[in-house]
Amino acid sequence: LAPWIPVVGLEIHAQISSNSKLFSGSQVQFAAPPNSLVSFFDASLPGTLPVLNRRCVEAAVMTGLALNCSINKKSLFDRKHYFYADLPAGYQITQQRVPIAVNGSLSYSLCIDNKMSQMVTKTVRIKQIQLEQDSGKSLHDDTRSQTLVDLNRAGVGLMEVVMEPDMCCGEEAAAAVRELQLILQTLGSSQAVMAEGQLRVDANVSVHHPGEPYGVRTEVKNINSMRFLAKAVDYEIQRQIEELENGGTILNETRAFDSKLGCTVPMRDKEGKQDYRFMPEPNLPPLILYDAKSLPANMNHQQVINIDWIHERLPDLPSVKREKLVEQYGILPEHSFTLLNEDGLAEFFETVVKQTQMKPKKVIGWILNDLLSYLKQHSLTVKESPVSSFLLADLLNLLEKKAISSTAAKQVLVELWKGEGKTPLEIVKEQKLELLQDQKELEQICQAVIDGQENE
């Protein structure tokens, strides 16, 4: 049987972290009373007009720069038409012709064979980033055969990041999305919390034989966790291979991932090819961005977005942070990945290092093996850790001074997890875990043991 090459591309929608919506002044907030965060424009009442939120543009520029994109100094808005109850206007304002950023790249890492020690770096091309409106939320009430519509989310700003089909499996897709998530959170352009719908991923999947043209692709939607992303992509790849090997064909359709059954199913309401009748948004002139060279002399600052100004103020991206950690502390690259993967762990590690004489290379072991595994076992975040960085540093200092043994240190740590407010030194004294350093005392104890033996 000829081998199959799976091809995976992604369309990722990230909710922009802003106070108000993309084209209106209503608030952006998760979980508010239904239809309380909705303006007349969001409800698509006649006579209302879109007004672009500056912060959303800045977020998109930051993200484009972080993903090595070319920022289009002139980008355009379009209307994408389709009918659905949670899209009151009957169209979504998006950027179809000329989006705000194009032609970037994202590097991410994978462990080979699940061994952290063997990491390989891959790159996925970013086709474009566009600004667009989010839709409202539909709650399906099948018992009463109706849909309840909440427009709180309608009009919230989204950045759609389109990744070219450079990935080949669920693991790669999940790793790429994870790295994007970290970048967005570092920039602050999106909080990218998948559980709150701030990061949604649609996967485009197809398979073909080497040397042959790409196969028909399907789109898999409704993936709302990182875990399900890998599963959904891998399931769809397998499904397509089996279908084709059994002589069937793949339909160019949209499928939803059913997390309970672990499979993809065709989506109703999305049958047939959609004709979105794209047209320029007549109420918005082109979006013009500037850089240091093209900055106009007498324009109101508030009306000008300077790409270079934003570039200068970009924070260190995760990849740079990892390199710095490795260089500064002599830890392994895979350690730096784990540090950045847990919210607050890198800061915790650095705080401990600052307060202890123990070498960072030794400290990292305590952080990753002892601290992190305990937190994971008890489903705690770093912020919720009963053992603070100060307490851990105290403990490691005792160990470093050889006041206690390594085994004793682990015992103290077990006690510290109880969070009873005792210091490491107090626990050591309580449990008599001190290492004896006094030569004379040691001789006396040994002598006593030998004498004890002789008496038997």
Partner 1 sequence: QKVSVEVLHHLEHLALVDFRDSEGVERLQKAIQFADQLHEVNTDGVEPMDSVLEDRCLYLREDDVTEGNCTKELLKNAREKVEEYFVAPPGNIPLPKLEEQDTFLQGS
Where on the chain is the footprint of partner 1 (CB under 8 A)? 18-20, 24-27, 33-41, 43, 45, 51-57, 76, 81, 83-85, 138-142, 145-151, 268-269, 275, 277, 280, 282, 284-288, 302-303, 305
For residue 67, give the 3-state DSSP assignment.
coil
Question: Which has the closest alpha carbon to 68: 119, 127, 121?
Answer: 127
Taking the least distance from each CB to partner 1, the nearer of 92 and 338 is 92
Strand-pair partners of 290: 306
Q: How far is the CB of 135 from partner 1 (least distance, A)?
A: 13
Taking the least distance from each CB to partner 1, the nearer of 48 and 225 is 48
Taking the least distance from each CB to partner 1, the nearer of 268 and 313 is 268
Taking the least distance from each CB to partner 1, the nearer of 27 and 411 is 27
Q: How far is the CB of 24 from partner 1 (least distance, A)?
A: 6
Q: How far is the CB of 154 from partner 1 (least distance, A)?
A: 11
Taking the least distance from each CB to partner 1, the nearer of 273 and 383 is 273
Say how many C-beta atoms besides its own lie within 10 A of residue 235's C-beta. 21
Q: How far is the CB of 198 from partner 1 (least distance, A)?
A: 17
Q: How far is the CB of 312 from partner 1 (least distance, A)?
A: 20
CA dist., res. 110 & res. 123, Å (int):
11
Q: How far is the CB of 404 from partner 1 (least distance, A)?
A: 53
Taking the least distance from each CB to partner 1, the nearer of 290 and 337 is 290
Q: Is 120 left (phi over 0), alpha (psi -120 to 50) or beta?
A: beta
Q: How far is the CB of 235 from partner 1 (least distance, A)?
A: 25
DSSP state of 280: E
CA dist., res. 430 & res. 435, Å (int):
13
Q: Could you tell me where the DSSP H helices lie in 188-249?
A: 226-245
CA dist., res. 290 & res. 37, Å (int):
33
CA dist., res. 226 & res. 446, Å (int):
59
Taking the least distance from each CB to partner 1, the nearer of 248 and 286 is 286
CA dist., res. 251 & res. 360, Å (int):
55
CA dist., res. 408 & res. 430, Å (int):
12
CA dist., res. 250 & res. 234, Å (int):
16
